[in-house]
Amino acid sequence: MKKNLIAVATLVALVASSCGNMLGTTGANGNNGGTLGNVLGSVLGGLNGANMGNSLLDMVIGYIKIDQRELYGTWQYTAPGCAFTSEQLLAKAGGAVAAGQVKEKLAPIYSNVGINGNNTYFVFTQDGKYQAKVNGIPLSGTYTYDKENSAIKMQSLLTVTGYLTRTTSGMALTFESKKLLSVLQAVTALSGNSTIKTVGDLSKEFDGVRVGFEMAKTN
């Protein structure tokens, strides 16, 4: 039965993706029109596939609202993360298939740069402060959270805005892809790593898709 659900979901994603190029259109935040939700609901509803449909929609920024109190604590990096700016983009990109491809391409880059669960984490406190390490580089400052748009603004010497989505193991903190990949590009340039060209190429493929970190809460 599970294999049947996966097959149906894949078929839906492929049909939806036929109306545009993969990862090629930037959508607005939110759940405008309910395109993917309606398609998945009608096709999977009779097969008890609601949870599968919901798990896809979790990848749309702003669809699932995360309360600020859920942020408090330490979040450890577990895997590359990605999120979509709208249901339409998720459907057009091919849904879970596209997300898997994004993560697959990011994983070796993160690994080559040195990002892992031991040196990358975020800590958010109730008084609006955060501490973090990314590839062992310490960061700290203050943050504000906009629940309606699932946006978290982290301020220190620079101001960075990330977006939160729920995952099966915790949450994903993602950023505008070109900005994050530019940071990784700078890191690889300093280290002389050969992935720098790959990072530059990827920034074109991820237009309109947020990329970052999947994280699990450790306390």
pLDDT averaged per 10 residues, the chain (length 219): 36 30 36 35 33 59 90 96 79 68 86 90 97 91 96 91 92 88 69 58 69 94
Distance CA 214, CA 167 (A): 8
Q: What is the DSSP letter of 206?
A: T
The pLDDT of residue 92: 63
Q: What is the DSSP letter of 46?
A: G
pTM over 0.85: no
CA quadruple 124, 66, 215, 108: dihedral positive or negative? negative
The pLDDT of residue 209: 82
The pLDDT of residue 66: 92
Which tokens in the block code for residue 35? 């395109």
The pLDDT of residue 207: 64
The pLDDT of residue 18: 29
The pLDDT of residue 214: 96
The pLDDT of residue 190: 62
For residue 130, how many C-alpha atoms fall within 13 Å in the half-sphere facing its CB?
Answer: 25
